[in-house]
Structure 1
Amino acid sequence: MRREIVTLAVVALLVVAGCSSGGGDTTTTPAYDTEAEPVYETPLDTETVTDAHVDALRDHGTFTVDVNATWRHGSSERVRREILVRGNLDTGAVYEHQAARGDVQQTYRFGNGTAYARFVSSGEVSYDSVTRGVGNATTYASGNLWGALELFTFDYAGTRAVDGERVHVYRADSLDRSGEFDPSNLGGGENVTVNRAEATLQFREDGTLRHADYTLQFESDGESQLTSVDLHVQRLGDTDVSPPRWIPDARNATE
């Protein structure tokens, strides 16, 4: 149980510090333009890039984040978690939907900080009011990028066309950060060997993050573990963040 909690914490870090990887995009131009001017200079500074990403998102107002995360411990089967986040940076409102192993958790936070959660497990529905642990839209917007920048050191690969859109691509093939993000924290054990660590970031011309994927494969105290994340930031300015229909039921249940 401890191992699963630790690995879930890593997933949470990568997703929202504010979620199988490598789904990939259909590209129209396979080669990189290595002569292009990068949208962000390397080495990527966490605070600078994150702030610029959020500022650019504010120009759109709303956004959607789609995430697929996979983790596995030893010989156990892979567990997949799907996460959907809708945020409104003008009001601060945010909606989150998580699904894993047949269970669903939905959370909605109003701009004033009031938040409710809906749980579906084994066909049973329950509600709760949430007093902490749910950030506003800015928290989710910055967290999508912050975790990756703290874990990896990226090199600029160049630009390429992805689904008709020109994107700037940054790649990393190792964990180069230390301190609280040292690999020894990933598995909860003292003896950790990282066998594979890869990450890719795609930025739009305006500086917003478009796509990110991460793969961490390591051994902790002799047990193989895998965490893999594939994330898309999309529907900029075209995301509905109005309260879900279950909010009145949540209010009634929690009052």
Structure 2
Amino acid sequence: MNRNRVVLIALVAAVALAGCGGLGGDSGTPTETPANGSNATTDWPDTTTATDGPYDLPLNGSEIRDRHRTVLDDGTFSYRQNAVVRAAGSGAVREYTNLSAQVDRTTGEYRYFQNVTRTNPTAAYVDANGTAYLRERGDGQIAYDRQTGASGSTDAYLYPEINRYLRGLSYEYEGTERANGETVHVYAANGTDGLDPDAHGLTALDSASLTELSAELRVAEDGSIRTFRYDVTGTNPQGSRVRYVVAVEYAGVGSTAVSEPSWLDEAKNVTGE
């Protein structure tokens, strides 16, 4: 196992999905100083549309991120992220990312499993002291490693940067539904009629080639994310038609217990603890 590599790979996978540029960060909104150097402001018309849900339209990714982080910051949750790039015609898988995690923000304890294209499946458990025990499976063998100083790494699971998929799309509020015993609010975008290519953040596909685009965001009453799904077909830089689907899910918010993996004792023995 390549030491100091596995944790970093997992954290990158948490915020950057396979293919199509991933869940990259948001560069923010630039501001300009008035040419005359004054503090004068311009009264722009208010285009916000109120809804019965936690968020008004158009959706603001920064607001969603901040409210979601506030709810989850000092609690526990389970996180799941799946992404796949397929050939649009045959459906053959080109790239994929599968990641799941249990996180306790109060103690810093967490565990995860990831399976990414062209890398070995990897699992890890990080205790409250920041010691990470890693398990990598490949070529019919299992390797273990132990690393220290992994505390604080749960930030990568706290919020997936979906802002790029919220910008430049015309989301509508579609009401509420019941899921896993709670009420969730649904926001959805379908088709490319409302697509603003200059604002939308999917840069790895030709914006003029996008078809069959759909996105759904489900949030709890407090505004925290429960699920997000984005599905689009387009042309990549190599000229191939591909379908890109990404799904994110949060569950067990406030009730998740991080369990020690069954292989922990073996990992401690192998790494000499």
TM-score (norm 1): 0.70
Matches within 5 A, 1:8-23: 8=18, 10=20, 13=23
1:56 aligns with 2:71: yes
Distance in 2, Cα, partners of 1:176 & 1:85: 34
- The two structures, once aligned, show a CA RMSD in angstroms of 3.8
Distance in 1, Cα, partners of 2:106 & 2:61: 23
Matches within 5 A, 1:163-178: 163=179, 165-173=182-190, 174=192, 176=196, 178=198
1:150 aligns with 2:164: yes
Secondary structure of the residue aligned to 2:67 is helix
Distance in 1, Cα, partners of 2:22 & 2:143: 23
More relative contact order, 1 or 2 (CA 8 Å, 6+ apart)? 1
Distance in 2, Cα, partners of 1:209 & 1:249: 36
More helix per residue: 1 or 2? 1
The Cα of 1:141 is off from its aligned counterpart by 1.8
Distance in 1, Cα, partners of 2:175 & 2:112: 31
Q: Which amino acid aligns with 2:62?
A: E
Task: Select 2:62's aligned residue among 44, 47, 63.
Answer: 47
Task: Select 2:103's aligned residue among 77, 87, 109.
Answer: 87
Retained in 2: the 8 A contact 1:71–1:225? yes
Structure 2 residue aligned with 1:125: 142
Equivalenced residue count is 226
Unaligned runs of 5+ in 1: 18-33
Deviations 1:114-172 (A, max 9, x none): 323211224321123457999623320212xx2x2222235241322234532211123
Using a 3 Å threshold, how does the CA distance of structure 1 residues 217 and 58 change in structure 2: closer, same or farther?
Answer: same
The Cα of 1:47 is off from its aligned counterpart by 2.6
State which structure, 1 or 2, has the greater radius of gyration over its C-alpha atoms: 2
Q: Indicate the larger mover: 5-14 or 211-220.
A: 5-14
Percent of aligned pairs sharing the same letter: 26
Deviations 1:195-233 (A, max 9, x none): 343211001112111111111321123212222122321
TM-score (norm 2): 0.66
Secondary structure of the residue aligned to 2:64 is helix
